Structure 1
C-alpha cells in the first residue's frame, strides 16, 4: 500500500497551485502517478434523483435505512408487515442505487446514506430521497459518503427540526446543491478498489473474530457439561475465605482499585470525582484474591486480582476473598460464567441498593471436578483461547484504524 500511495506535497500541489483555495484541491495521500488537482462539482450534476413508483406491490421488500446494515427489510427491524396498498406510493429502488434519510440524528449522522446491495430491488418510503450515480464511480461515491469530511459538509447545510429535537433535516434541494470535490475517473477507480479491498479485509477479520469467539463459547459449553456430569457439589466456603483485613493509608485515588462491570476486569483509581478519601475505610487487596462488588456482582463486577494491582485498596463494599484448595484460575473460570454471577442477584438483600454479602455468597453451591491436572488443562486451554481472541480483536481494531486513515486522507 505504501508503494502505491504518496503524500501530495512535493508532487501534486508543489508548482501546480499558488492559492489557498487551490491547495485544498489536493488530498493528503494519493496514488502514485496522479498529480492533477481535484475538481469541485455540484452533487446534483453527478447523480440523478429517482422518482419511479413502485409497481411490484406483492413482491417488493419495504426498505429502511440501518446505520449498521445498510438498506434492509423494514419488517426485520419493526416486526410488522406494511400493507400492500401503501407500497404503491413507495419509490422503486434497484441494486446499486442510493437513498438518504431527510432527518437524521446529529449525535450519529453516519449511516444516513446507504446503497442498496442486499436485494435486487425494493420499495422505499418517500421519507427517503433516492438517487443513482451518473458520471461518477459508484464505489467512489459510497466511500466518500463514509468519510467524516462528508458529514461535516452535510451538517453545515442541515437545519434542526422544530418538532424533533436532536434531529437534523436536509432538503433535497440543499442536498443536491452541495459541492463535492472529485478526481478524474482513473483515480476514482483506484480509490474505489482500495476502499473495497479494505472493507473486504475488515469483514474477513471481523468474521474470523466471530468464529473464534464462537469456538471459545463452545469450549465453555463443553466444560460446563462435563462439570455438571462429573463434578462434585461443594459450597464456596470450601475454597474461599476472608483474608486478614489490613487497613490502607490512602493519600490519592491512584492507590484505589475498581472492579469493572460485565467482566471487564480491574482498573486503578476510581471514576467518581466527588469521592472523599477521608470518609471511608479502605483495605489492602492482594494478588490471587477473588474480588467483587457487593452491589454489582450480578452485573459482572467480579475479577481475579493480578500482580499489577497487588497492594491496591478497596472499601468493604468491594471485598476480596482468599482462594485455597483449588486452582484459583479454574475457580474463577467457573465463577465468571454468567450462569453464576447473574444468579447471585437472587441472594442480594437490601431495600434501596441491593447487596450480596460475603456470608451469603460463601453459602452458594457449585459443581467442581476436583482433579488438579484436569483443572490445570482447562486453565491452559481457556488462556490460549483468550489470547487468540485478544489478538484477533487487536487485528480488527488495526484494520478499522487503517480504514479511517484512508477515508480521512484520500478525500478532500
Structure 2
C-alpha cells in the first residue's frame, strides 16, 4: 500500500487519477446471510429443485450452480434457510472456515455459512471473492475463543475494508477471474496426468491372485514371480533422530529427512527442511542413506514413498532401501507408489494409537515382479516419464499461483 495515499501499489492506468480507496465495513456494502437445515426426518422437505449447499461442497471451483442435495419449497419455508441471489459469495463460517465460491444460480445453504450478498451497484462479486484469504484471516481471529472457530454474521459485518469505486472493482475482479480460470485449467491438466498414471498403476501390475497384469508391453511373456522385498535389497534399515535438546547436533551439512519432507514431495527428495551435524549423526542411530535410495514412511504419512536425489540421513520414521539395480529400483518404487495410492498398506499395518508399519513387515512384503529385468526397466521408465509430465504441469501451476499471489499483494490496499 502507498503510505501517503490509500491506493494499491499496482493500479490499472485508467484509474490512476481516480480517488483514493475508502474504508468501509463489509456490512455496509453487502448483506451477510446465514443458512439452515430442514428436518431430515420429513421427506417432503427434500429432493426438490432448490440448491442446498453444505461446506464440504465448497473449495474446488470458483462458481457453483448445482448442489449434491436439494430441498423443496416447503423445506425452505419450514427452516431458516434463505434464498441467496446469483453473485452471492458463499463463505463457510465454521470448522474449515473461510472456503468460498460464487453462486451462478439462486441457492440456499445450511447453517455452516455466513454468505456475502453484494449490494447492487456498490460491491462486485469477484472483487470481494478475490479477497477470500483476507476475510478468512479476519474470521479466524474474531471467531477464535470457543470450542471451535466460528464467525457470526454480526462479526463479519464489522470487518473493515478499503475498496475503490465500482468500475475499478469490476476491472480488478475481471482480472483475477481470468487468472483463476488459468489456474483451474492448469489444475485440470495436472489432474488429468495423475489420473492417467493411476489408471496405468491399476492395470500394469497383476492383481492379487493373478499371474499376469491386465496391460503389458508388447514382446514380454511368461508369468511373473513373487519375491520378498528383502531379496532385492543391498542395504536397508530405519533411521534415527539425534537428541533434539543438543543444539550442536543440528544445523550442519547433512540433510535430515523428516515426515514433512516426504509428505510435501512429488516422489523425489532434492532437499530437506532440517540438517544435522557429523556429531549428531555419530550420536544417534541415523546413517547416511545413499543417493538414489528409496525411503518409505512407516509412521504418520504411512506408505508415502520417495527416491532420494541426495545423500541424506533420516529419522526412525523411515525404512530406507538401497536396491541392487536401478531398473529393479524404479520398478519397486512404482509398485510402492501403487500400494500407497490404492491403500494396500491398510491390511498389514500395525494398529494402535496410530497406524504404523515396522521394518520387519516392510522387508517381508511380497511383491509381484517380472522375471525379465528388461520388462522391469520398461515399466519403471514408463512411469518415470509420467512422473516427469506431472512435475512439469505442477511447476506451471505453482508459477501461476505465485503470480496470482504477487498480484493480490500489489493490487489491494
TM-score (norm 2): 0.69
- Deviation, 1:379, is 2.6
Superposition pairs of residues 14-93 of structure 1, within 5 angstroms: 23-35=4-16, 36-40=18-22, 41-47=24-30, 58-65=48-55, 67-69=58-60, 76=68, 84-85=74-75, 87-89=77-79, 90-93=81-84
Q: Measured at CA, do residues 124 and 71 of structure 1 come closer, stay the same or move farther in structure 2, by a change above 3 Å? A: farther
Superposition pairs of residues 114-153 of structure 1, within 5 angstroms: 114-117=101-104, 119-122=105-108, 128=114, 131-148=117-134, 150-151=135-136
Q: Measured at CA, do residues 84 and 218 of structure 1 come closer, stay the same or move farther in structure 2, by a change above 3 Å? A: same
- Deviation, 1:197, is 0.4
Structure 1 contact 63–72 (Cα < 8 Å) conserved:
no
Q: Measured at CA, do residues 133 and 141 of structure 1 come closer, stay the same or move farther in structure 2, by a change above 3 Å? A: farther
Q: Which residue of 1 aligns with 2:147?
A: 165
The one-character-per-residue Cα deviations of 1:207-236 (angstroms, maximum 9, x if unpaired) are: 111111111212222322595365421323
- Deviation, 1:371, is 2.8
Q: Which residue of 1 aligns with 2:98?
A: 110
Q: Which residue of 2 aligns with 1:300?
A: 303
Structure 2 contact 350–357 (Cα < 8 Å) conserved:
yes
1:97 aligns with 2:92: no
- Deviation, 1:202, is 0.9
CA distance in 1, matches of 2:88, 2:316: 59
Structure 2 contact 35–108 (Cα < 8 Å) conserved:
no
CA distance in 2, matches of 1:178, 1:351: 45
- Deviation, 1:64, is 3.4
Superposition pairs of residues 172-251 of structure 1, within 5 angstroms: 172=154, 175-176=156-157, 178-225=159-206, 227-228=212-213, 230-236=222-228, 239-243=231-235
The one-character-per-residue Cα deviations of 1:68-114 (angstroms, maximum 9, x if unpaired) are: 157979984xx89899456434322232234556x546xx6533x65
- Deviation, 1:29, is 0.6
Q: Measured at CA, do residues 323 and 63 of structure 1 come closer, stay the same or move farther in structure 2, by a change above 3 Å? A: same
Q: Which residue of 1 aligns with 2:41?
A: none
Q: Which residue of 2 aligns with 1:408?
A: 409
Superposition pairs of residues 275-314 of structure 1, within 5 angstroms: 279-292=283-296, 295-296=298-299, 299-306=302-309, 308-309=310-311, 312=313
Q: Which residue of 2 aligns with 1:384?
A: 385
1:393 aligns with 2:394: yes
Q: Measured at CA, do residues 284 and 339 of structure 1 come closer, stay the same or move farther in structure 2, by a change above 3 Å? A: closer
Q: Measured at CA, do residues 62 and 84 of structure 1 come closer, stay the same or move farther in structure 2, by a change above 3 Å? A: farther
Structure 1 contact 143–407 (Cα < 8 Å) conserved:
no
Structure 1 segments unaligned to the other structure (5+ residues)? 1-7, 10-19
Structure 2 segments unaligned to the other structure (5+ residues)? 38-43, 215-221, 243-247
Q: Measured at CA, do residues 27 and 212 of structure 1 come closer, stay the same or move farther in structure 2, by a change above 3 Å? A: same
- Deviation, 1:388, is 1.0
The one-character-per-residue Cα deviations of 1:219-277 (angstroms, maximum 9, x if unpaired) are: 222322595365421323684244499x99x985543653645685546586899x975
CA distance in 1, matches of 2:212, 2:258: 27
The one-character-per-residue Cα deviations of 1:120-163 (angstroms, maximum 9, x if unpaired) are: 43366597466342223523443354252x4566667x4656xx
Q: Measured at CA, do residues 240 and 205 of structure 1 come closer, stay the same or move farther in structure 2, by a change above 3 Å? A: same
- Deviation, 1:200, is 0.9
**Secondary structure, aligned partner of 1:374:** helix
TM-score (norm 1): 0.69
CA distance in 2, matches of 1:120, 1:408: 32
CA distance in 2, matches of 1:313, 1:321: 14
CA distance in 2, matches of 1:152, 1:159: 10
1:373 aligns with 2:363: no
Number of equivalences: 373
Alignment root-mean-square deviation, CA = 4.9
CA distance in 1, matches of 2:158, 2:294: 62
**Secondary structure, aligned partner of 1:167:** coil
Q: Measured at CA, do residues 271 and 129 of structure 1 come closer, stay the same or move farther in structure 2, by a change above 3 Å? A: same
CA distance in 1, matches of 2:179, 2:397: 11
Structure 1 contact 369–375 (Cα < 8 Å) conserved:
yes
Q: Measured at CA, do residues 292 and 42 of structure 1 come closer, stay the same or move farther in structure 2, by a change above 3 Å? A: closer
**Secondary structure, aligned partner of 1:375:** helix
Which has the greater radius of gyration? 1
1:338 aligns with 2:339: yes
